[in-house]
Amino acid sequence: MGNTIELDHVSKAFDGKTVIHGLSAAFEDGEFIAILGPSGCGKSTMLSMIAGLERITSGRILIGGTEVQNKAPKDRGCAMVFQNYALYPHMSVRENIGYALKVAGVPKEERHRRIAEAARVVELGDYLDRRPSALSGGQRQRVAIARAIVREPKVLLFDEPLSNLDAKLRHGMRMELSQLHRRIGATSVFVTHDQIEAMTLAGRVMLLNAGRIEQFASPHDLYHRPASTFVASFIGAPP
Ligand code: ADP
Ligand code: MG
């Protein structure tokens, strides 16, 4: 089965108001998927339900063929990178990256090996002894990514991780993220409201509108064969 993700008629209601309407889709092992759509369409909710940070109201979620909707977040094999990635200010980069491993009781030697590897992947190997305050915005975001990949997750979930960076840095980080994905090969789901970001990063893009899938297709097909006027106007709009 590998690290597939299946969403089977997933619904979510907050206080009786449905925000995700029976959504079904399957992501293949190692795919880079973008969930795209306007603010409030349900992107973060969808990601949080995969990670287990929000319970689903009905339906099923399977990771690697196993139902996970009743499992605790730590038992799902997902790691999430947020927009407002809070690093621990009093810890070095090394301690920030390794904290989850320490909590999980991973022995020191293995911890250090995995921290070094994760830092190498995000090219922060020379910065392990620094504090977050001595890093640039892009470097801090890379620490947040290293913190996620050090856990060797089956699934990497990104919730608008580049939105707080300036345009130039964001462009560079996009390139880094797609290279990173190729290197580690985890199934990745990337949430964004920026169609350019989705189209350049992902192999397939799921465009949401008010909790429903408008189209789930390759960037090429979204651009050249929009399924609705909503898709055409969203993809065609300036970012
Ligand atoms: P997006 O990430 O696409 O901007 P969200 O998933 O954050 O959208 O929100 C989808 C809808 O669910 C919105 O209408 C939002 O107001 C609502 N919502 C999200 N989280 C909660 C919550 N904890 N309680 C009540 N409503 C929520
Ligand atoms: Mg959101």
Q: What is the pLDDT of residues 112-159, one digit of tens each?
A: 999 999 998 888 999 999 999 999 888 998 999 999 999 889 999 999
Q: Where are the alpha helices (DSSP H) in 64-132?
A: 93-103, 108-121
CA of 139 to the centre of ligand 1 (A): 29
The answer to whether the beta carbons of residues 88 and 136 sit under 8 Å apart is: no
**Nearest ligand to the CA atom of 20:** 1
The length of the chain, given as a count of residues: 239
Query: Among the atoms of ligand 1, which is closest to the Cα of residue 193?
Result: 3
Mean pLDDT of the chain: 93
Structure ipTM: 0.99
Residue 175 confidence (pLDDT): 84
The two three-digit tokens of residue 84, written as one number: 């407002």
**Nearest ligand to the CA atom of 54:** 1
Pocket of ligand 1 (CB under 6 A): 14, 19, 37, 39-45
CA of 42 to the centre of ligand 1 (A): 6
Residue 238 confidence (pLDDT): 67
Distance, in Å, from the CA atom of 162 to the CA atom of 84, rounded to the nearest integer, reads 10
Question: Per DSSP, which regions of 172-227 are E strands?
Answer: 187-192, 204-209, 212-217
% of residues, the chain, pLDDT over 70: 99
Is a pLDDT exceeding 70 seen at residue 37?
A: yes
When pLDDT is averaged across residues 98-111 and rounded to a whole number, the result is: 95
